[in-house]
Amino acid sequence: MSILAPDVVRETDAFPSARPMTVTVTGAAGQIGYTLLFRVAAGLMFGADTPVNLRLLEIPSAMRATEGVVMELEDCGFPLLRDIDITSDPVRAFEGANAGVLIGAKPRTVGMERADLLAANASIFAVHGRAISEAAADDVRVVVVGNPVNANALVLAHHAPDLPKQQITAVSRLDHNRAVFQLARRAGVPTSEVSRLAIWGNHSSTMYPDITHAVVGGRSGAEYAADTMWLEMEFIPSVANRGSAIIEVRGQSSQGSAAFATKEHMYDWFCGTRPGDWTSAGVWSSGEYGIPDGLVCSMPVTSDGSGWTVVEGLNIDPLSRRYIDTSIADLLEEREMVKAMGLI
Ligand SMILES: NC(=O)c1ccc[n+]([C@@H]2O[C@H](COP(=O)([O-])OP(=O)(O)OC[C@H]3O[C@@H](n4cnc5c(N)ncnc54)[C@H](O)[C@@H]3O)[C@@H](O)[C@H]2O)c1
């Protein structure tokens, strides 16, 4: 029995097997990496009974800083932390990995356009895709955190063609958590009373936070969505522009909330979503809800620990359809951009 307290206490906090997990974290010395690693080592990503081996990948100029992160991890004396290796060689970093958390990329800064970000980051995911293909365990599950996540995940998949597409995901959990908070605030209830919210589309300002199926303090989210003035003028923009608002106020992109969202994505994927609820994740599309095949698109999903399952049978109202289609167009445009760059 572990004495570690998870970030979120829930009844399903049991990992199906206590085999050690080898976890590769890229961009380990960056701001999200730094915040996340202490949670992983504490057992908050794979369950409090699961030992972890950390493989930290950084660029050569950040190696010294990575050594400092390792020293701090050692100083915590985490009971579950078995082994740490640091390297700037992607193949060595992904050797035997059961989980890949791909943060290593440039963050967006004030005034930076998506095309600039794609140009700076997408090629990194081609290299990491090839390394995963060559060296990771067959069961490796990958989450892309480095922006633009959906396009980067496409690039990664293209360069790891033997890796089953269901094992490649993009994080949209930060949008999900932001939307949960904004809806809870509107309803005057704690976030624990919000369930069944869904983020659709791209992790960009076009993502659509869908509350029409949500349950909020025992009421239907559709009741709140019926106030279209609030929905379209306040709620959706507040979630869509939150990342930019944080950059403006903090001077840097989201760190703590991004690390938390990443941890939650992996926790739910490996250990299961809450009974009766779902979450959102960028997963490989195969025609669900009119989303074209072969995109990495955020959708409502559940997990029983073995993998994500897209929630089926939701009724999409006309307003939701319009927003989802806009975000799909955004994803298709990004796909064309990475094609034009010769990356897929
Ligand atoms: N998906 C989300 O919800 C979300 C939220 C916030 C930020 N992000 C994105 O996450 C990424 C990282 O953000 P951050 O704030 O930690 O940035 P950061 O600059 O603090 O850290 C990035 C780290 O990645 C490393 N890196 C760069 N290229 C690398 C490579 N090829 N291999 C390994 N490591 C490499 C850098 O040396 C740096 O230490 C950015 O792209 C940012 O936009 C995503």
Nearest to 28 by CA among 71, 83, 91, 70: 70
Q: What is the pTM of this model?
A: 0.95
Residue closest via CA to ligand 1's atom 22 equals 30
Give residue 59's identity as a one-letter amino acid code: I
Residue closest via CA to ligand 1's atom 31 equals 124
Q: Which domains does the chain have, with CATH numbers?
A: 21-170 (3.40.50.720), 173-339 (3.90.110.10)
The answer to whether residues 24 and 101 touch, using CB atoms and an 8 Å cutoff, is yes
Q: Out of 69-73, 79-83, 227-231, which region has the weakest mean confidence (pLDDT)?
A: 79-83
Give the binding-site residues of ligand 1, using a 6 Å CB cut-off.
Answer: 26-27, 29-33, 57-59, 62, 103-108, 121, 124, 145-147, 149, 171, 174, 203, 253-255, 258, 261
CA of 262 to the centre of ligand 1 (A): 13
The pLDDT of residue 227 is 98
What span, in angstroms and rounded, lies between the C-alpha atoms of 66 and 311?
Answer: 39
Pocket test for ligand 1, best of 35, 87, 103 (most atoms within 8 A of CB): 103
User: What does pLDDT average to over the chain?
Assistant: 93
The pLDDT of residue 325 is 98
Atom of ligand 1 nearest to the CA of 258: 5
What pLDDT band is residue 7 in, cutting at 50, 70 and 90?
low
Task: Please say if the pLDDT value at position 11 is more than 80.
Answer: no
Residue closest via CA to ligand 1's atom 25 equals 27
The answer to whether residues 138 and 297 touch, using CB atoms and an 8 Å cutoff, is no
Task: Please say if the pLDDT value at position 9 is more than 60.
Answer: no
Percent share of the chain, pLDDT over 70: 95
Task: Please say if the pLDDT value at position 5 is more than 60.
Answer: no
Q: How many CA atoms lie within 13 A of 55 on its CB side?
A: 23
For residue 158, indicate whether it is catalytic. Answer: no
| Residue 11 in tokens | 């009844």
Q: Which listed residue (128, 203, 213, 265) is catalytic?
A: 203
Task: Please say if the pLDDT value at position 311 is more than 50.
Answer: yes
Atom of ligand 1 nearest to the CA of 117: 41
Task: Please say if the pLDDT value at position 20 is more than 80.
Answer: yes
The pLDDT of residue 85 is 98
Q: Give 160-197 pLDDT, tens digit per residue.
A: 999 999 999 999 999 999 999 999 999 999 999 999 99
| Residue 291 in tokens | 């989303």
The pLDDT of residue 95 is 98
CA of 117 to the centre of ligand 1 (A): 11
